[in-house]
A and B are shown apart, each in its own frame.
Chain A
Amino acid sequence: MMRDVLSIVDLHVSVDGKLILKGVNLEVRRGEIHALMGPNGSGKTTLGLAIMGHPRYQVTQGRIELDGVNLVELEPHERARMGVFIAFQRPVAISGVRLADFLRHAVSDVRNPQRKEGDELVSMREFRKELREKMDQLRMDPEFARRYVNEGFSGGEMKRAEILQMAMLRPRFAILDETDSGLDVDAVRLASQSIAEIGGHEMGLLIITHHERLLEHNPPDFTHVMLGGRIVETGGRELAEFLHSSGYEEIRRKYPEAAAEEASMLAERTR
């Protein structure tokens, strides 16, 4: 059994009967940083949501393995309790639930994977203290934790709240889905720095991004390019730099089959 390796093998995923991922292979070890790039609609978010077990994203073939367990068989909360986390591209608001209360439940569940509902929560005192520390570290106003989860948050606040949750849950593997989108330059720099500061480098990170800045403090060991539902190319940090400066045209030329898939997915979407 391979511990501390998240491995994705020949993953096929469809949404509402439409095949989106067509055989994705990826291995992330704890302590590694992977950048996942690719044009819009290529399937990056789909991969992240499939790893977490979103019920609408059906795995039709392939495996997602961690510690010798096929995550595909598990409920999303079980995956979370095994130490897998996603910072959402579009976080969801939960009206009336204070971020602090939400996180106290989350922390209790993730740190005690056997926890049953109604079992004791982590101690209020310790939780508060830790939350306070993490919020300080992320330069967040403590009042923020009293607000309802993502309700009325600005784009930047949402992304910071996602990082705060990651900091509190201390996962082994984290997917960061466009944690930089919608943020201004300073906010992206802060996010980039924060990910490093909260111990992101001890985790296995899969960073989905279009920009270089998020990678500034988190230099990728590997860069993957997704096109038309497949990872078509993998390289090092220089590949990310190349894509940032030159875009995806050359990749499309190099992989005409995947580019054709992309075009047909796009056509289907706009139809």
Chain B
Amino acid sequence: MNSTSSATSAVSDQGFTREQFEEHIASRKQPSWLLALRRRAMDACESLPLPNSQMEEWRRTPLRMLRLQGFAPLAPRPETVPQVPSVLEPLLSPGGRLLTLDGRKVAGSLSEKWVDRGVVFDCLEDSALGPQADLVRDSLFSILDWNYDRFAALHTAFWTGGAFCYIPRGVRVDEPLFLLSALGSGQADLGHLLVVLDEGAEATLVSETASVESGGTGLYCGGIELILKPGARLRFVNLQNWNDAVWHFAHQKAVLQQGAYLEWTLGALGGMLAKVNQHLILDGEQAEAVVNGVMFTENRRHLAYHTLQHHKKPFTRSDLLYKGALQDRSHLVWRGMIRVDEGAIKTDGYQRNDNLILSDRARTDCIPGLEILADDVRCTHGATAGRVDDEEIFYAQTRGLTKREAARMIVTGFFQQVFDRITIDSAREALAEVIGRKVREYR
């Protein structure tokens, strides 16, 4: 019998046990509502099945090699704050900065002028006990489905540290806020990012995940909640730039109320295996979201994205463009869904995933989907997977470019279309720079 195709691949059941959970909660102070939620999540953890290849969402994403028991929920506190290799930091002059290591705050600052205006950008766990306790209680896990699957429940039960970003009504933060989440070798990061923009608030939040060491495994099992009240405008970047050995499981969700606007740029440049659920809920008329995805995969990296653009209200717009380039034996999975609820007329939904396959052994599975229950909507989707076109290479060669120079130029150009949509200069430049470097190394 062929073990790879017939065996049910499952996560080893060990790790993040009930004993560890009791230890975990005993080690920290937290409000009772949070403790109660964690207990419910721990129960769910024990009753939810482990993701396996029989489940539709995990059919193409193999977890056979994952050993959860190899990771402890609480890393020992480091003696010193390590240098974290960040691609975004050199390009930013942020108005606030937060550094976490293994899901725990190690440094943070926010410029006086934003503090004075009521902006919060700090450790989430501390905020749950601080002056913003009520706000955190009302918002945390208010949109994320904490029992969506085993990883979501595990995250909810065990999350630590994290980051909380709150922009009060009408405040426009015109400097980027920067969150750098670092992960040490062999460690776990179960951090949670909670972002609340009150009515008419505006902000740019740039978040990057990076490994401290260039090698050594790690586990990220995180959650992101973006809550945009009426008229709020958020530009959000999350750049996943782990080393090649990190497991990445992420549940990310944004809810946009009336007239809110979100530009969400997601970059994936590292990791060994990543499974990301990116959900957008357009929950108020005239809400609009633009999603940009940039992926470059190498070696045996596996990236899986499950995106949802859920139009709940009329006159909402969403526009998603993911672009990926694949090398070596890497594998990219994208399952997109645009869902339009009954009555959500005049919605405009768009989703597209284009992939450039740079090696004979790389693979993509791109599956767009539509579920439309309203009349008078415009929803379109598309997916392409192709190779660098020989005719384009020849054309460039006749202008003096070598074959490789031509190929690299074409690959860079392939990403330009998505770069053109990113309005945050630092993010666009950093992505272009990293992609450029990878393309230069492209064999």
In the complex, which residues 29-84 of chain A have their Cβ closer than 8 Å to any Cβ of chain B?
A: 52-55, 75-77, 79-81
Closest residue of chain B to A107 (Cβ to Cβ) is B400
Q: Does B416 contact A96, Cβ atoms closer than 8 Å?
A: yes
Q: Which residues of A contact B408 (CB under 8 A)?
A: 117
Closest residue of chain B to A103 (Cβ to Cβ) is B399
Say whether, besides A94-B409, A97-B410, A97-B412, A169 and B397 are in contact (CB < 8 Å). Answer: no
**Bound Cα distance from A101 to B401, whole angstroms:** 12
- A42 to chain B minimum Cβ distance, whole angstroms, is 22
A85-93, A135-143, A219-227: which lies at the B interface? A85-93
**Bound Cα distance from A77 to B401, whole angstroms:** 6
Q: Does B440 contact A76, Cβ atoms closer than 8 Å?
A: no
Q: Does B397 contact A76, Cβ atoms closer than 8 Å?
A: yes
In the complex, which residues 85-118 of chain A have their Cβ closer than 8 Å to any Cβ of chain B?
A: 85-86, 88, 91-97, 101-103, 105-107, 109-110, 117-118
Q: Does B410 contact A94, Cβ atoms closer than 8 Å?
A: yes
**Bound Cα distance from A97 to B406, whole angstroms:** 11
Cβ contacts B403-427/A at 8 Å (1 or 0 each): 1111011101111110000000000
Q: Does B410 contact A86, Cβ atoms closer than 8 Å?
A: no
Say whether, besides A94-B392, A105-B405, A148 and B413 are in contact (CB < 8 Å). Answer: yes
Whether a CB of chain A sits under 8 angstroms from the CB of B398 is yes
Cβ contacts A7-45/B at 8 Å (1 or 0 each): 000000000000000000000000000000000000000
Whether a CB of chain B sits under 8 angstroms from the CB of A165 is yes
Q: Does B398 contact A76, Cβ atoms closer than 8 Å?
A: yes
Number of interface residues of A (CB under 8 A): 33
Q: Does A94 contact B413, Cβ atoms closer than 8 Å?
A: yes
From B391, B399, B414, A102 is in contact (CB under 8 Å) with B399
In the complex, which residues 28-49 of chain B have their Cβ closer than 8 Å to any Cβ of chain A?
A: none
Q: Does A80 contact B397, Cβ atoms closer than 8 Å?
A: yes
Q: Does B398 contact A117, Cβ atoms closer than 8 Å?
A: no
**Bound Cα distance from A55 to B389, whole angstroms:** 13
Q: Which residues of B contact A165 (CB under 8 A)?
A: 399
Q: Does B414 contact A110, Cβ atoms closer than 8 Å?
A: no
Closest residue of chain A to B390 (Cβ to Cβ) is A55
Interface range, B side:
20 to 34
In the complex, which residues 372-411 of chain B have their Cβ closer than 8 Å to any Cβ of chain A?
A: 389-392, 394-406, 408-410
From A52, A102, A118, B440 is in contact (CB under 8 Å) with A118
Closest residue of chain A to B354 (Cβ to Cβ) is A95
Q: Does A77 contact B413, Cβ atoms closer than 8 Å?
A: no
**Bound Cα distance from A54 to B440, whole angstroms:** 25
**Bound Cα distance from A53 to B399, whole angstroms:** 12
- B323 to chain A minimum Cβ distance, whole angstroms, is 10
Closest residue of chain B to A82 (Cβ to Cβ) is B400
Q: Does A96 contact B412, Cβ atoms closer than 8 Å?
A: yes
- A268 to chain B minimum Cβ distance, whole angstroms, is 23
Q: Does B415 contact A117, Cβ atoms closer than 8 Å?
A: no
Q: Which residues of B contact A75 (CB under 8 A)?
A: 397, 402-403
- A77 to chain B minimum Cβ distance, whole angstroms, is 5
Q: Which residues of A contact B398 (CB under 8 A)?
A: 52, 76-77, 79-80, 85-86
- B411 to chain A minimum Cβ distance, whole angstroms, is 9
- B410 to chain A minimum Cβ distance, whole angstroms, is 6
Q: Which residues of A contact B391 (CB under 8 A)?
A: 92
Q: Does A77 contact B410, Cβ atoms closer than 8 Å?
A: no
Q: Does A97 contact B405, Cβ atoms closer than 8 Å?
A: no
Closest residue of chain A to B410 (Cβ to Cβ) is A94
**Bound Cα distance from A213 to B394, whole angstroms:** 29
Q: Which residues of B contact A80 (CB under 8 A)?
A: 397-400
Say whether, besides A76-B394, A102-B396, A105-B409, A97 and B401 are in contact (CB < 8 Å). Answer: no
Q: Which residues of B contact A54 (CB under 8 A)?
A: 394
In the complex, which residues 343-366 of chain B have their Cβ closer than 8 Å to any Cβ of chain A?
A: none
Q: Does B414 contact A109, Cβ atoms closer than 8 Å?
A: no
**Bound Cα distance from A53 to B403, whole angstroms:** 12
Q: Which residues of B contact A77 (CB under 8 A)?
A: 397-398, 400-403, 406
Q: Does A106 contact B400, Cβ atoms closer than 8 Å?
A: yes
- A182 to chain B minimum Cβ distance, whole angstroms, is 18
Q: Which residues of A contact B406 (CB under 8 A)?
A: 77
Q: Does B400 contact A55, Cβ atoms closer than 8 Å?
A: no
- B214 to chain A minimum Cβ distance, whole angstroms, is 23
Closest residue of chain A to B408 (Cβ to Cβ) is A117
Q: Does B394 contact A96, Cβ atoms closer than 8 Å?
A: no
Q: Does B395 contact A97, Cβ atoms closer than 8 Å?
A: no
Q: Does B395 contact A92, Cβ atoms closer than 8 Å?
A: yes
Say whether, besides A76-B394, A92-B391, A95-B416, A102 and B409 are in contact (CB < 8 Å). Answer: yes
Given contacts A97-B412, A102-B399, 6 further A-B contacts (CB under 8 A): A75-B397, A75-B402, A77-B400, A96-B416, A105-B401, A110-B400
Q: List A residues at the B interface (Cβ < 8 Å).
A: 52-55, 75-77, 79-81, 85-86, 88, 91-97, 101-103, 105-107, 109-110, 117-118, 148, 165, 169
Q: List B residues at the A interface (Cβ < 8 Å).
A: 389-392, 394-406, 408-410, 412-417, 440
Can you spell out 6 A-B residue pairs with CB atoms less than 8 angstroms apart?
A: A54-B394, A75-B397, A77-B397, A92-B392, A97-B413, A169-B399
| Shortest beta-carbon contacts, A-B, top 8 | A96-B413, A96-B416, A109-B400, A76-B397, A106-B399, A97-B413, A110-B400, A92-B395
